[in-house]
Amino acid sequence: MGLGAMAGLVPGLAVPASGAANAAISMPIIKPERLKPGDTVAVVNPAGALYSSTDIQVVVERLEALGLKVKTGKYVLARHGYFAGTDLQRAEDLNRMIRDTSVKAIVATRGGWGCARILHLVDYDFLRRNPKIIVGYSDVTALLNAIHAKTGLVTYHGPVGMSPFTEFTADHFRRVLFDGEALTMQNPVRVGNDLTHTGDRVATLTPGVARGKLLGGNLTVLTGILGSEYVPDYNGSLLFTEDVGEELYRVDRMLTQLGLNGILKNMNGMVFGRCTRCDPGTGYASFTIEELIQQHTALHNVPVWYGSMIGHIPDMFTIPLGLQAEINATTGTLTLLESPVT
């Protein structure tokens, strides 16, 4: 029996679509080595500037609290307009840490804007031969996707140095990058002073279960690099995404762009984390974020849910970009099917 026939018998079973979602060619997957206490990690700033020297002190202390040694980039406190130095300076810092074989992981200091401007300057060949952990989110989405597209290296959508490393965030960071656990990620249930839990709830938009390669990141940043050589092949993927402070008509436009590029049609399922501060507002006749997601995905009959711990939020998952996983849109769970590191 073919997969198409099986899909008719098993509700929610997503079948990989034929044809590539974009021009990218899938490369063999490479996993970096897991972190150990005492390992050296680098902090670089490939995007927006920091405006206080104490910020980098806090970043270093957070990583040291995880038992790691920290190197900081030469230009981590540089400023060129709203960037942390010129494009060449930011790329130089990143490449220096890529080429430093004593560095086991690179953590972006913050997001903002700027990663896409240095994608053509990254030393992908060295990184392919000497893989290491690359972590960040928001604007770092551009780097995570580009590195995976160019090298096959699994990258990690997780906290930046300026993120609050809450107990939840630090626990998932450790379990993925230190322990290499093929864990199941599920939103916490915290009742608090109420009869039921009211925060961190999941909204199932299309129920079902699907498997595929985890790919995605910030919606604005991802759509900004579509059509370039720095986007992996999203065919048969589990798309995860998030955003912050966007007008809903812009979210609509970006989801439309994903559709026009074939990503929504060819994905196996979708996890939309949070669209923080993306409310309809007080005006009349606005769609909600859940309505927009459903409008753009309903015809594709793949599992979709909203509200995962992915986004501009204090408590966040660390998601291995490029790893095989399974999602259950009914329970709101995301399960890694293999170790995320070696």
Dihedral of the CA atoms 311, 48, 239, 205 (nearest 10)? 40
- CA gyration radius for the chain? 19
Query: How far is 108 from 144, CA to CA, in rounded Å?
Result: 11
Estimate to the nearest angstrom the gap between the alpha carbon of 56 and the chain centroid. Answer: 23
Active site includes 228? no
Q: Which two tokens stand for residue 236?
A: 């048969």
Q: Which two tokens stand for residue 280?
A: 């309809």
Q: Is the dihedral of CA 58, 64, 66, 69 positive or negative?
A: positive
Query: How far is 142 from 137, CA to CA, in rounded Å?
Result: 9
Of 240, 230, 205, 259, the closest CA to residue 326 belongs to 240
SS (H, E, C) 155-202: EEECCCCCCCCCHHHHHHHHHHHCCCCCCEEECCCCCCCCCCCCCCCC
Angle between helices 289-297 and 248-260 (to 10 degrees): 20
Query: How far is 68 from 61, CA to CA, in rounded Å?
Result: 10
Of 152, 189, 200, 186, the closest CA to residue 336 belongs to 186
Annotated catalytic residue within 92, 138, 148, 326: 138
Annotated catalytic residue within 92, 242, 246, 326: 242
Active site includes 290? no
Active site includes 167? no
Annotated catalytic residue within 163, 308, 312, 326: 312
Amino acid 174 reads R
Of 59, 138, 124, 66, the closest CA to residue 94 belongs to 124
Residue numbers annotated as active site: 138, 242, 312
